[in-house]
Structure 1
């Protein structure tokens, strides 16, 4: 994929006239790296037409926000403020928009989608295109990886498959990526379903992107956005544990030292996966339970859905009868429920029967420590935060 620093004028609905001298001249002039077409707003606002599902738009934008510094916020159609700019999602004849920032409608840029309930990858494609991310087969080096069969492709989609010059796009030295959401499959935009739109050059790539699409951002998609818009780093506050650092290839993920694993480096590599199970758990409104031992040394992340928090109950099978509340390294459970996950959590143990706690945001960490073989039962679910 390549980031477009300048605008390539493409008709959104009708096929472009490739024999038009003016159109050719505009494409030749587009080699200038014009940063006018980069979004510099701290928040990109967006409107959604009434005949498009708002949820379909929101889920795609949330994926981008989760992995980058980019922020989007919906505003009502009735908002005509001159102080905000952004996207206007509307129904159109093809999924398309301008390449890079070029406002169509006052302060908003039209993003056209063909369905009332567009699939996530279709929303991601038009949003990334509006952000300046070109289709994968427009890269200057695309000829090393695929041969485009133009005679098989609907003419209105040729602009998505025509290689650009190095002076027009910047790939940030990221490799060609068949996994990119901007990589078309071999059956897209063809004149007939029995035709191919392109042919992979290398034999080992022949089956890639055959008749399936990439529904999510790839690691390189995320890296490209972070390099172009976020200064090559993750700007969100790190939640990585045990010395892990945020990964530019996915700012919701952590790079861990060899001793730890899990999305947030919360689990020792020595913990047995067949006992502990999956380290990263998405919580639902249904109560789930696990029974473990202190000595299992399991570490977990529990994530509620956006706008929810985690309710966690820890019940100890056997209570020790001592007067002083002292937990030892032999048997302890740590709960990190505060927003700041870099701080030490609440340490509890079998001096009491049960602990009930709630996360301050959608994420909670739970760690087991010790050599004691006594059992601990945990139960968890997501809830709506109470109004304080």
Structure 2
């Protein structure tokens, strides 16, 4: 983004002050008094994505679950949550989205058991494949940063490039685009290259089923394309990776099956079998990231009826 953080010894006016407090929290947006914005962090908060989460609050970003359109994407189970959870994730009618799609992979999204009193789910996803994607603490998503740029940096580049795949003109270099995950090139029209030992990057889906099998330690980015106005049906026969509470990017399998490829794909970690995914349009992007020799996927793909 165009935002630049400069460390200073003393801060008297607007700015951000990180301090060791009794929790992880920040006031939303710039203080009207013009004073420094305090961000409380405990040692448990010293995780890159959590620090980013609170910093983005200070810069004005609210929780993804507070969007006006959240009812299309999640269900809250307040009976399983601590008192006050409903206020924390409360619907905000003034939430500015700049027409960006709901992003299950946002660092501003809570995980499925956040504030649970009984270990049961407090937030479920309308699309079941995203249940283990919500609650990222790895880093801000592409659209988290894009939202910041649309609010603070949109006037820097007077001429906007025709970026593909929902990329945007880079405010630090107006001659290139900032690209969503897995895309590269000046206008975001190319895929990031796979590593050696991966299948072909470009695959075609037809009515007859085809099988994609990958195993071992490697990073593979693959685009499956069907004819125009067709959709793609994926059956994940098996997906085997290290299990995490929240599936992390670049560790497991990510499937971008929605039309908007700027939002996070559904992430799979641990052991999954017989998962059926139907694409929204005629393209799917897959990212396989095996960290161990035993990691593997076996996927059958074809056009959908």
Give TM-score, length-normalised by structure 1: 0.42
Relative distance call for 1:227 and 1:254 in structure 2 (3 A) is: farther
- Structure number with the higher strand fraction is 2
Q: Size of the alignment, in residue pairs?
A: 183
Structure number, greater radius of gyration:
1
Q: 1:201 aligns with which of 126, 129, 134?
A: 126
Q: 1:236 aligns with which of 157, 160, 172?
A: 172
- Are the equivalent residues in 1 in contact too, given 2:178–2:188 (CA < 8 A)? no
Superposition deviation, residue 159 in structure 1? 3.1
Distance in 2 between residues matched to 1:156 and 1:94, nearest whole Å: 16
Indicate the structure whose relative CO is greater, using CA pairs within 8 Å and at least 6 residues apart: 2
- Are the equivalent residues in 2 in contact too, given 1:223–1:249 (CA < 8 A)? no
Superposition deviation, residue 257 in structure 1? 7.2
SS at structure 2 position matched to 1:74: coil
SS at structure 1 position matched to 2:56: helix
> How much is the aligned-residue C-alpha RMSD, in angstroms?
3.1
Q: Which runs of structure 2 are paired with 1:1-388 in the superposition (5 Å)?
A: 68-76=1-9, 79=10, 82=12, 84-102=13-31, 107-115=35-43, 118-165=46-93, 168-192=94-118, 194-209=119-134, 213-231=136-154, 233-237=169-173, 245-247=176-178, 254-256=185-187, 274=196
- Are the equivalent residues in 1 in contact too, given 2:31–2:37 (CA < 8 A)? yes
Relative distance call for 1:127 and 1:103 in structure 2 (3 A) is: farther
- Are the equivalent residues in 2 in contact too, given 1:101–1:109 (CA < 8 A)? yes
Q: Match of 1:334? A: none
SS at structure 2 position matched to 1:73: coil
Superposition deviation, residue 197 in structure 1? 1.5
- Are the equivalent residues in 2 in contact too, given 1:103–1:110 (CA < 8 A)? no
Gaps of 5+ in 1: 1-67, 263-268, 276-388
- Are the equivalent residues in 2 in contact too, given 1:179–1:214 (CA < 8 A)? no
Superposition deviation, residue 154 in structure 1? 2.2
Relative distance call for 1:136 and 1:125 in structure 2 (3 A) is: same
Distance in 2 between residues matched to 1:94 and 1:157, nearest whole Å: 15
Q: Deviations over 1:4-29 (max 9, x none)?
A: xxxxxxxxxxxxxxxxxxxxxxxxxx
Give TM-score, length-normalised by structure 2: 0.52
Distance in 1 between residues matched to 2:121 and 2:138, nearest whole Å: 20
- Structure number with the higher helix fraction is 1
Q: Deviations over 1:323-364 (max 9, x none)?
A: xxxxxxxxxxxxxxxxxxxxxxxxxxxxxxxxxxxxxxxxxx
Superposition deviation, residue 164 in structure 1? 1.4
Superposition deviation, residue 235 in structure 1? 2.1
- Are the equivalent residues in 1 in contact too, given 2:26–2:39 (CA < 8 A)? yes
Relative distance call for 1:205 and 1:237 in structure 2 (3 A) is: closer
Q: Deviations over 1:41-73 (max 9, x none)?
A: xxxxxxxxxxxxxxxxxxxxxxxxxxx000111
Gaps of 5+ in 2: 156-168, 198-305
- Are the equivalent residues in 2 in contact too, given 1:97–1:130 (CA < 8 A)? yes
Q: Deviations over 1:187-219 (max 9, x none)?
A: 222223x2211122233434433xx63411111
Relative distance call for 1:73 and 1:257 in structure 2 (3 A) is: closer
Distance in 2 between residues matched to 1:120 and 1:163, nearest whole Å: 26
